[in-house]
Amino acid sequence: MNNFHYNPSKKSNKSLAGLILTVVGLALLVHQLDWFFFPNWLFSWPMILIIIGLAKRANNRSKNNSSWLILIVIGCLFLLERIFPAENVVHLGWPVILIAVGLWIIFGRNQEKVNYKQPFSKEAFVNNDFLNPDPEEPAATEPSYTNQTRTEGNEDYLNSFSMFGDVKKSIMSKNFKGGEIVNIFSGTNLDFSHADISGRVVVDVVQLFGGTKLIVPPHWQVVSDIAPVFGGVNDKRIPHTDMAANGKVLVLKGVSIFGGVDIKSF
């Protein structure tokens, strides 16, 4: 007996892609036949960014992923430059993009929920290690802050934010569950060689004038759903025979503006 699993999300994705292609094709046909007047800006490359952003929004089930909005904002800015060439809209575009990315960082990122309503405990306060340090333990040293940070952690969730600096981190978790990477004029290097995942794991990537380098095990399958703007995703690995069989899938989602993502294996 054959097991058939119906996945409505895949069908809706295909229907959406087919609808977009049909509408674009009909518009091009009408434009070529001069049946109806279409402005030239309607068939410009900024419209492609807007269409991709709308498609990502229609297919996006995560409330925290706002990469679609960044694509639409960039597309609209360059589109307004074509519609109103005398207004120099693009000169105002970069501040607007920086504001949009900043607002996304403030409101759109996953924030860890901390419970501040825990009852006050006198015993916990009196027995605090900071107030009563152990004389036999060595004193903690002050952390050093540099432009480059390298850490090793076995956290199941990744939360990497870098601005005007570089981050290097080795992921040691044997049950990695995903996370997010934000690069602004900076770069992030992540080593997953000693990590492991189970099933499908999603990592959100948003970078502006930045880059991300990932070292993943050769038997992991990496699926890119990143929308690059003047950038790209480069998977330099040799295809492994066990990728489809083991079910370990690392999904990259988000947007990369003037930046790239490199994927390697050792």
The neighbouring-strand residues paired with 170 are 152, 191
User: Please, how many CA atoms are within 13 Å of residue 105, restricted to the half-sphere of its CB?
Assistant: 18
The pLDDT, as a whole number, for residue 90 is 64
* Annotated domain spans of the chain: 8-108, 147-264
155, 177, 179: which is closest to 248 by C-alpha? Answer: 177
- 74 residue type, one letter: I
The pLDDT, as a whole number, for residue 214 is 94
pTM above 0.85, yes or no: no
Tokens linked to 132: 């009563």
The pLDDT, as a whole number, for residue 171 is 92
| Helical ranges in the chain per DSSP H | 8-33, 45-58, 67-83, 89-103, 122-126, 243-246
CB-CB neighbours of 229 under 10 Å:
17
The neighbouring-strand residues paired with 203 are 179, 252
The pLDDT, as a whole number, for residue 2 is 42
The pLDDT, as a whole number, for residue 216 is 92
What Cα–Cα distance (Å) separates residue 175 from each residue in 112, 171, 196?
Answer: 19, 10, 6
Tokens linked to 54: 């709308």
Question: What is residue 169's three-state secondary structure?
Answer: strand
The pLDDT, as a whole number, for residue 87 is 65
The CA-to-CA distance between both ends of the chain, in Å, stands at 41
The pLDDT, as a whole number, for residue 112 is 41
What are the mean pLDDT values of the chain's consecutive 10-residue runs (266 residues total)? 44 62 76 69 78 71 60 80 71 73 64 41 45 49 43 75 87 91 89 91 88 91 85 82 76 86 88
Handedness of CA 118, 121, 124, 125 (dihedral sign): positive
Q: How far apart are CA 14 and CA 145, in angstroms?
A: 48
